[in-house]
Amino acid sequence: MRVVREQAGRAAALDAADELRAKRAEFVLDTPDEPDGTVYLDGNSLGALPRTVAPRLAAVVEREWGLLRIRGWREAGWWGAPERVGDRIGRLVGAGPGRIVVGDSTSVNVFKAVVAAARLAGEGRDEILVDAGTFPTDGYITASAARMTGRLLRSVPAPELAGAVGDRTAVVLVNHVDYRTGRLHDLPAVTAAAHAAGARVVWDVCHSAGALPVGLDAHDADFAVGCTYKYLNGGPGAPAFLYLRPGLQPRFDSPLPGWNSHADPFGMAPVHVPADGAARGRVGTPEILSLLALEAALEVWDGVDLAAVRAKSLALTDFFLHCVEEYVPRGRVTCLTPVPHGERGSQVSLRCEAAAAVMKELAARDIVGDFRPPDVLRFGFAPLYTSFTDAERAARALAGVLGR
């Protein structure tokens, strides 16, 4: 118990930081008929609902759509929302204004980025590398992009990518954080290695955006894609985002040139002339309701220091791992998440026999995480609203289930 008490003392000091302490109150989390509330540790799959979203959506539906109707594109600012919301996300992933456009799904944006990156490659670059543990859709999309562009697809373990890239490599697709294990991959090193070999990199930051500093501009990333319904709390099916490095924007040749990415979208010309800047990443009509819900959700990030978010994330996951070690019977779980801070995202993945049944029993005890086949329990720690009490309760409940 001593190590748990000592760690709790250090963690409590972080939890009291002014920039994060009041953030939980800005989310709808607790179940009214449960005195202790539900412990929600699945923000790495679907973020909690910010209190700003419902009234904003009501206003959009009732006033902007209901009264303004078509005038909403101009008078309510709908048309510029993909870039405006993109700039808000930019602060959270280290991207300056005009680098990010919001719209479409992560899968569609992966396709745009990988094909466009392949089109930038010079002669003789006939392979596309993808990290072996990539999220399945990323793998499917990249395989299709390789077929379409006449490249070979090679799967390489993420820690080996920096050494695998060479003069035949056109594009490298990497997940910044592994969705199964929570391992954080080395964005600066892989990007630098790819550039030294003359290749481009596409980063999937779905499991890092909103959980830790990403530094897209600082590390000279070429392209990045990310979803907004995890740590950014945009809601189910919220639109994804696409990052285009400024120096590459004039050369970004989208494989999906839609009317919304045209330099003169209302000119209805028969030939596509791409717009300037990040707007080249648009395709069709923006998803206004979900886009404006996301914009309202992002208000909870106003004034938040990402360094404090990262510090709390690491303290939470450290504390949870200590509690699991202290409470859970020996040999019942194995941690898949790296212990070193530089290799860890904001989740803890535990290998466990009968993991699906264990997670079902945890849910019955109001502990919400998730399960990945065949045997992985995942617990996501969203620093804005997850508390150290949540972490301790979850570990204690896990011990109760596994100790029966």
Round to whole Å and give the CA distance between 347 and 337. Answer: 8
Instruction: For residue 107, say whether it is annotated as part of any ligand binding site.
Output: yes
Asked whether the beta carbons of 144 and 233 are under 8 A apart, the reply is: no
Instruction: For residue 135, say whether it is annotated as part of any ligand binding site.
Output: yes
Average the pLDDT over 252-265 and give the result: 98
Instruction: For residue 285, say whether it is annotated as part of any ligand binding site.
Output: yes
pLDDT higher for 141 or 11? 141
Provide the annotated active-site residues: 135, 204, 229-230, 378
Query: The tokens of 134 are what?
Result: 């990539």
Architecture of domain 55-301: 3-Layer(aba) Sandwich (3.40)
| Residue 171: band (very low, low, confident or very high) from pLDDT cuts 50, 70, 90 | very high
Instruction: For residue 207, say whether it is annotated as part of any ligand binding site.
Output: yes
The model's pLDDT over 23-60, given as tens digits with 9 standing for 90+, comes to 899 999 875 555 568 999 999 999 999 999 999 999 99
Asked whether the beta carbons of 262 and 269 are under 8 A apart, the reply is: yes
Round to whole Å and give the CA distance between 279 and 129. Answer: 27
| Residue 16: band (very low, low, confident or very high) from pLDDT cuts 50, 70, 90 | very low
Look up the CATH superfamily of 2-37+304-402.
Aspartate Aminotransferase, domain 1 (3.90.1150.10)
Can you give the residue ranges of every domain in the chain? 2-37+304-402, 55-301
Asked whether the beta carbons of 287 and 82 are under 8 A apart, the reply is: no
Instruction: For residue 138, say whether it is annotated as part of any ligand binding site.
Output: yes
pTM of the model: 0.94
